[in-house]
Each structure stands twice: as C-alpha cells, then as structure tokens.
C-alpha cells in the first residue's frame, strides 16, 4: 500500500547561481532531480510551482527586503549577505521556492495528496523578515505557515527542523506566536550559533519553541530514539492541524559543512516517524528542502525520505544509539525545560 505523495520541482531553481565553489550550488538539487527520475517516476506526482506574489511574501518579509531581492536581478552576481551570493535569476528561484511551499499547502488541504515535498532552492530557514542570511533569501516555510493560517484558518502548525544548523529565521519569526510550534535539532557550534534548550518562546508563544542542541556523537539510532521520545508527546499535547518539515540533509556524515555522523537511514527513520504520528490523526505533511551540500548525500537522503513517505511498510529495526547517555541527558533537559508548559515524556 502506498501513500499519495506529490513533489514540486522546476529547473528554474538551478538558475540561482552562487559563484565558483560555493556550497549552495545547483548541483545539490540537480542530483536529487536525477534520483527522482531514476527511482520515483510514476510513483510521485510532480507539480510545477508558480512564483509567490508580493502580498504573499509580505506575510513574513518587509517590503524593503523584498525590494532588495528584486534589485539583484540587475546584476550578473552580487551578494545579499557576506555568505549569500546571488545572480540575476536568484529572485525568481526564491519567489518559486516560496510559491512551491504554498502550492503544497493548497494541494494537501484539498486532499489531492497526503504528503508534499518541495524540492527547491535557495533554502529558507535562516532568512529573517528584513534580511537574507545563511544562503537563504526568503523564509519558505514561514511564508507557507502564515499562508496556511490566514487562508485556511489553521489553528496549530508544527514545524520540525532537522537541518544541522539552527533555523534562526523560523525560530525568531514565530517566537511569540502559539499558532506555530517550532521544534529544532541542531549543532550549537555551527552557524548561526543559536537555539539553546532554554529558548522556549516569549509572551503568548512561551512554550511553543523546543530546541534540541545535539552532540556530534549521535548517530542514526540516537536520532530515532530522541525524536520518537520528543515528538510523541508534542503531537499529543499540541494536536497540530498541519506538520511542516524543514528537511535539511547536512547532518549526513558526508556533508562538507556539518560535523555529524548520520547516514541517510536517519532521515528515513525520522520521516517514517513523522508520517506515523501524522497519519494517526490524519494530519497533512509538507516538507521543504533546506540545507545539504554534498550532492551524493543529498540524493541518498532525499531518496530515503521519499521512500518513507510513499510506503506504509514497517520501518524495520532501528539501530542502537551510539551515545545513549548523552541522548538521555538531552531528553532530561528537554522535558525539564518543557514540563511547566505541559509536555511530559
């Protein structure tokens, strides 16, 4: 038995040029497209995105920031931030990436599919309302979450971010809002050096941000154990109307920017877990590609995720944790921090 899965893809994402040897290159997405053609042709529905409108972008971003991105069309190559080069077609790729995520919201809520994977670039989870940073121009999932809440009146959206870098943009945008619960696992020693376990939200959003700073000793089994232990009570307590995943693949052991020890099987296990929890309450699932800078690891990881999305078959045995003591220490910190808000193991 298979789950109905759709993807968004477009060769125009490859027109976003970042210069020689920059890690956020077209090859990281092109490798995924080739993998999809080899392994999922006829299995997943392929959609072509439409660019987001200015009004949709301004659900999250300031008009000034949107105008700055548009002006980059005048240059063969320029920079939005020291680490974020752009080219003349980058604005279009960014508009399409945000549009692809909103397309996913529409298709999921129409019942056309059960899971939707936006295979896009540039990534988005670092982008702030008024500036680009960390290779990200627009915050694709934040725009999609605001769109879903405003257009469809969704009360509770859960965003799970398993990119090895903390998604400071998503974190900050929704830090005071209870309508979006943000869960992030990340390496604190990597850019943007944020996302402490004690950062739980402010004002009405207090308790709706859950950060998990990871040990570099963790492998696939540790991550499966940690995520199952955390997400099960989060789903039970928050009862999300939609789940979104910031699907970065840069915790893979082969990634040149991450410093982690995951294999592609970790992403299979995490995706299968989220599918299991979402299916139990018939919750739609939207994924969007974030980081991941080794083309081969990206393709293998995306393949693992798509396999988890498509099939209802059992996941099989989970590897034993490599560092169970550190995993238990992290879980103790998470639940001690969030018990006052009602999340208990």
d(Cα 37, Cα 165) in Å, to the nearest integer? 29
Q: How many alpha carbons lie under 13 Å from residue 60 in its C-beta half-sphere? A: 32
Would you please indicate which residues are annotated as catalytic (active-site) residues? 126
Is-contact 220 271, C-beta < 8 A?
no
Mapped to the 3 state alphabet, what secondary structure does 42-68 carry?
Answer: CCCEEECCCCCCHHHHCCCCCHHHHHH
- Tally the residues of the chain: 345
Q: What are the backbone dihedrals phi and psi of residue 161, each rounded to the nearest 5 degrees, phi first?
A: -120, 105
Helices 27-39 & 295-310 angle (0-180, nearest 10): 40
The encoded tokens of residue 92 equal 């279009």
Measured CA to CA in angstroms, residue 13 lies from 24, 50, 224 at distances of 12, 12, 31
d(Cα 33, Cα 11) in Å, to the nearest integer? 9
The encoded tokens of residue 70 equal 């548009």
How buried is residue 14: exposed, middle or buried, by Cβ count under 10 Å (0-12/13-18/19+)? middle
C-alpha 40: how far from its chain's center? Answer: 21
The encoded tokens of residue 59 equal 């659900």
d(Cα 262, Cα 218) in Å, to the nearest integer? 7
d(Cα 256, Cα 229) in Å, to the nearest integer? 29
């Amino acid at each position: 038995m298979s789950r109905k899965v759709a993807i968004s893809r477009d060769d125009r994402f490859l027109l976003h040029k970042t210069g020689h040897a920059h890690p956020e290159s077209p090859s990281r997405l092109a490798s995924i497209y080739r993998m999809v053609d080899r392994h999922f042709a006829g299995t997943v529905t392929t959609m072509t995105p439409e660019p987001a409108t200015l009004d949709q972008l301004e659900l999250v971003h300031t008009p000034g920031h949107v105008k700055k991105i548009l002006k980059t069309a005048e240059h063969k190559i320029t920079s939005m931030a020291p680490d974020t080069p752009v080219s003349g077609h980058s604005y279009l790729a960014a508009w399409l990436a945000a549009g692809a995520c909103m397309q996913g919201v529409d298709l999921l809520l129409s019942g056309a599919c059960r899971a939707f994977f936006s295979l896009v670039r540039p990534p988005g989870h670092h982008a702030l309302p008024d500036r680009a940073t960390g290779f990200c121009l627009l915050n694709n999932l934040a725009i999609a979450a605001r769109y879903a809440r405003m257009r469809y009146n969704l009360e509770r959206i859960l965003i799970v971010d398993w990119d090895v870098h903390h998604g400071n943009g998503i974190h900050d945008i929704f830090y005071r809002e209870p309508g979006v619960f943000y869960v992030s696992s990340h390496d604190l020693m990597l850019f943007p050096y944020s996302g402490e376990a004690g950062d739980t939200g402010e004002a009405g959003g207090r308790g709706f941000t859950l950060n998990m700073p990871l040990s570099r000793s963790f492998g696939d089994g540790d991550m499966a154990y940690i995520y199952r232990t955390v997400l099960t009570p989060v789903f039970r307590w928050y009862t999300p109307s939609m789940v979104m995943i910031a699907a970065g693949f840069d915790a893979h052991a082969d990634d040149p920017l991450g410093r982690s020890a995951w294999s592609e099987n970790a992403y299979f296990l995490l995706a299968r877990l989220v599918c299991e929890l979402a299916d139990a309450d018939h919750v739609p699932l939207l994924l969007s590609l974030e980081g991941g800078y080794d083309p081969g690891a990206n393709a293998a990881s995306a393949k693992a995720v798509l396999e988890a999305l498509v099939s209802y078959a059992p996941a099989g045995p989970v590897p034993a944790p490599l560092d169970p003591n550190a995993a238990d220490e992290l879980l103790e910190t998470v639940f001690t921090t969030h018990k006052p808000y009602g999340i208990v193991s």
